[in-house]
Structure 1
């Protein structure tokens, strides 16, 4: 989006233009983000439309289809899942609207990642979501490639069950009394198999710059009252380890409670409000 001279003058005077935001997906993430925007939690952004294919009651902004939403916003927050990014991400960007992606797992598809990167004039952003240390991993890339990157994610078994699992694995999840490794692969493979549970893997891959370099272990743990993500990375320039343990969202245990607040922090950084540090 091109900044006009009046906008530039306003910014120089300390008065940044307010972003008009449409939230796509009114679930565990979108509801928290949209409600915060509607309540004025971010002075630099206001909620103008909500996009969801289900009938909504009590949403704090008019419900609309994507075409109408794009006519009333300059920034779309995606909280609807990888399918929206695959099917409609470029539509948002080619309309001239910016796009903030929460479902980063979609970007492990190299063809889609290329299409998203080349689309415009809208700009694309992604949020770190439920994992930290990304800024350090991005900085380390300037020193050279990491020789090893590993992510271990542990969640409750019920949040990890997928339609593609065979009867044996399904039974192992159902009867697990301790940790069970469900899958091991790269950050390109795993998010596609667990589209609602492993966006963290894709986010780490985006920071590292290569999804094939990131080894991912997905563990079902019946004792996992908190969702755990452990990132381990090493190279000739150093060794790094980050561990986070999040409370799952009560309505959607596959999502950590912190994720919508990470989206709000990203929005605050994009709007330049609230003293956020990029």
Structure 2
């Protein structure tokens, strides 16, 4: 008889609520919601007991991180060394080389990540074995309000808020950009993880007041081929910084883990 995967969710926001509700409704065969971790009192809003992080790690086979890069930095290594597996949604945290190395070396728990709002990662992972991708670009376009950050100066904020068309907010590598936009550019890190090189992925972040959908365009090429992927997602109504599809990408990863535990997604 196949063992049911006991899942704890960290973060009861736009991602966690959808994932947790689906698990509680037994929508993912072979997985069940065991508990929820959040720093806000949820009361009856959560369909499973709300517990401290330490207790969740003890009770669960797998922790789903749906609460931001800070949680990954603070808790990921402890989750893995306890023997519990971890599924990371906030892949931007893995642009920290030292953290990524520690997580890969930690165990006996296993670490997984989900691609979230971008497609084509499996193909990029495959073709990199033919040789390095020499030219990789990602352009992410979102509503200006979802990209505002505390580090921005008044001039940039004014340009974004008064824009009538697209405005480039930042250009850099997949190592640089997710740190500056911790809730908005995890896609950059996901592409870089698939390519295998944070510095090889050039990223442009664009604010567009007409962006009714969040758009990600990935372009990659090498001696073995050229690849282009474009996705345009409806933003989550409650949290426009997150695409509405992200929790369903997490659920897909959970379904794969419940059925084929231990395989890298």
Pairwise TM-score range, normalised by the shorter structure: over 0.9
Question: What displacement does 1:70 show?
Answer: 1.4
Separation in structure 2 between the aligned mates of residue 43 and residue 205 of structure 1, nearest angstrom: 31
In structure 1, what is the equivalent of residue 37 of structure 2?
Answer: 51
1:28 maps onto 2:14 in alignment? yes
In structure 1, what is the equivalent of residue 207 of structure 2?
Answer: 220
1:193 maps onto 2:180 in alignment? yes
1:140 maps onto 2:127 in alignment? yes
1:211 maps onto 2:198 in alignment? yes
Q: Structure 1: give runs of 5+ residues left out of the alignment.
A: 1-14
Separation in structure 2 between the aligned mates of residue 94 and residue 210 of structure 1, nearest angstrom: 26
Separation in structure 2 between the aligned mates of residue 153 and residue 177 of structure 1, nearest angstrom: 18
1:249 maps onto 2:206 in alignment? no
The residue correspondences of 1:231-250 to structure 2 (distance < 5 A) are 231-250=218-237
Separation in structure 2 between the aligned mates of residue 132 and residue 222 of structure 1, nearest angstrom: 24
1:123 maps onto 2:84 in alignment? no
Question: What displacement does 1:71 show?
Answer: 1.8
Q: TM-score under structure 2 normalisation? A: 0.97
Q: Structure 2: give runs of 5+ residues left out of the alignment.
A: none
Question: What displacement does 1:16 show?
Answer: 2.0
Separation in structure 2 between the aligned mates of residue 44 and residue 191 of structure 1, nearest angstrom: 33
Separation in structure 1 between the aligned mates of residue 168 and residue 112 of structure 2, nearest angstrom: 32
SS of the residue corresponding to residue 71 of structure 1 reads helix
C-alpha offsets along residues 19-43 of structure 1, whole Å, 9 cap, x if unaligned?
0000000000001000100010012
When the two structures are aligned, how many residues end up with a matched partner? 260
In structure 1, what is the equivalent of residue 170 of structure 2?
Answer: 183
Separation in structure 2 between the aligned mates of residue 118 and residue 83 of structure 1, nearest angstrom: 20
The residue correspondences of 1:59-208 to structure 2 (distance < 5 A) are 59-208=46-195
Q: TM-score under structure 1 normalisation? A: 0.92
SS of the residue corresponding to residue 94 of structure 2 reads helix
* Root mean square deviation, CA, Å: 0.8
Which aligned runs of 4 or more in structure 1 are off by greater than 2 angstroms?
none
